Amino acid sequence: MGWLIVQEHMTRDRWLGLSCIAFGIGAMGFIEMQNPHSNFGWGDVMFAGASASWAAYTALLKRWQMPPVPATIGVAVISAVMFLPIYALFLPSGLSQVSWQVIALQAGFQGVLVVIIAMLTFIAAVQRLGAFTVGSFLALAPMLAATLAVPVLDEPLTLGLMLGLLGMVTGALQPWRVFKTKR
């Protein structure tokens, strides 16, 4: 996405890293779809769409060079304007059954930690490191969650998960760069 939107220079290492990530995702998806008990479906398609949207947002942040605070405010306000009316008018809420302490805790966690602190640090990272580098490390999040699900949730450690993890970690960390000599 960074290459398309920002015309960020794609080195051989970046292409190799993207190839490893694509291999990991493709291998995991293909192997999991072969399993008759797999619940691969629309949720996975929507997750891929959300990932593509996030990649576009990351690249656009780099292109527009928007400072972190206005970009964070923009995300929060636009999200609230789009989602709150739908939530208030059409979706069941259940807020009346929850204590104000739980609501305050969630508002602090989701509103302050996730929206404000995480977005500010993310936007600053994109400005300093570039869209490709930040995007590569973001690709590790779903794989780390899937890996933690093995011991924490007793999920099976499948060949698909192992290949996916190998591809994602290799592509994001690009260990071959350690052995390059500077000229």
Q: Quick: pLDDT tens for 109-151.
A: 888 888 788 888 888 888 888 877 787 777 778 778 888 989 9
Please report which confidence band the pLDDT of residue 6 belongs to, taking 50, 70 and 90 as the band edges: low
Share of the chain above pLDDT 70, in %: 91
Q: Which residue did the predictor score with more confidence, 8 or 88?
A: 88
* Cα–Cα dist 93/160, whole Å: 37
Q: Is the per-residue pLDDT at 7 higher than 80?
A: no
Per-position b or e across 142-154, b if 16+ CB within 10 A of its CB = ebeebbeeeeeee
Q: Is the per-residue pLDDT at 158 higher than 80?
A: yes
Q: Report the predicted TM-score, pTM, of the whole model to 2 decimal places.
A: 0.62
- Asked if residue 17 lies in contact with residue 161, where contact means CB atoms within 8 angstroms, the answer is no
- Asked if residue 93 lies in contact with residue 87, where contact means CB atoms within 8 angstroms, the answer is yes
- Asked if residue 24 lies in contact with residue 171, where contact means CB atoms within 8 angstroms, the answer is yes
* Cα–Cα dist 118/114, whole Å: 5
Q: Quick: pLDDT tens for 79-109.
A: 889 988 888 888 887 878 889 999 899 888 8
Q: Which residue did the predictor score with more confidence, 26 or 4?
A: 26
Domain residue spans of the chain:
2-31+52-80+100-176
pLDDT value for 151: 93
